[in-house]
Structure 1
Amino acid sequence: MSLSSHLQELKKKHHHLSTAVEEMQRSPGVDDLHVAELKKQKLRLKEQINKLSTQPH
């Protein structure tokens, strides 16, 4: 897998997590622990994206 396709896949996953978190937060009776875990996953993806984006090609 090329670096650009890997970055695209990470960005897609990050976007899906963002959408899921937003939807969950709008729902009544949201599981705060689950939302927190999704946010941690989102942060890890963002860190990977930033790290790979700043590496020389």
Structure 2
Amino acid sequence: MSTVDHIEALKNKHATLEHAIHKETTRPHPDEDALCSLKKRKLMIKDQIVRLSEPTSH
């Protein structure tokens, strides 16, 4: 898998998590533990995207 393909896959996971977060927050009684977990996973993926998108320095 190329880096570009990997970044695209991570962006798709990020969007899926964003949707799950939105779905959970709009419930009558959101599960705060689930929200925390989803947000942490989303942030980890965002960090991976940023790291992979940075130009490498030699």
- Structure 1 length as normaliser, TM-score? 0.93
Deviation at 1:23, TM superposition (A): 1.0
Q: For structure 1, which runs of at least 5 residues remain unmatched after alignment? A: none
| Percent pairwise identity | 38
- Structure 2 length as normaliser, TM-score? 0.92
Q: How many residues are matched?
A: 56
Partner of 1:24: 24
Runs of 4+ in 1 over 2 A off after TM superposition: none
Q: Aligned partners of 2:37, 2:5: CA distance in 1, in Å?
A: 26
Secondary structure at the aligned position of 2:30 is classed as coil
Higher helix residue share: 1
Q: CA RMSD in A?
A: 0.8
Partner of 2:44: 44
Q: For structure 2, which runs of at least 5 residues remain unmatched after alignment? A: none
